[in-house]
Amino acid sequence: MTQATLTPPQETLDWVRQWRLEQLERAGYPTKDALILCGRLDIDIHEAARLLHSGCPVATAVRILV
């Protein structure tokens, strides 16, 4: 397989990032922090939400995840 075959189209990546942004904001992250996290596809957004729901401050959660 070539790299072009493995790379999803930009519109798909944009949709995924938008969905991740919405999920992170819904979990309680301010937009500025959600924007940082949504672009990092290596970050598990379920873990990100779990951190906040368990009482972790946003700044600490971001440091843990990034």
- Token code pair at residue 28: 């309680």
Domain ranges of the chain: 9-65
Q: What percent of the chain has pLDDT over 90?
A: 73
Using the predicted structure, report yes or no on whether residue 3 has a pLDDT greater than 90: no
Nearest-angstrom CA–CA distance, 61 and 34: 11
Say whether pTM exceeds 0.85: no
In this structure, which long-range contacts are made by residues 7-12, counting pairs with CB atoms below 8 Å and at least 24 apart in sequence?
A: none
Q: Choose among 21, 10, 12: nearest CA to 43.
A: 21
Q: How does pLDDT run across 21-50, given as a tens digit for each residue?
A: 999 999 999 999 999 999 998 999 999 999
Q: Choose among 42, 45, 43: nearest CA to 19.
A: 45
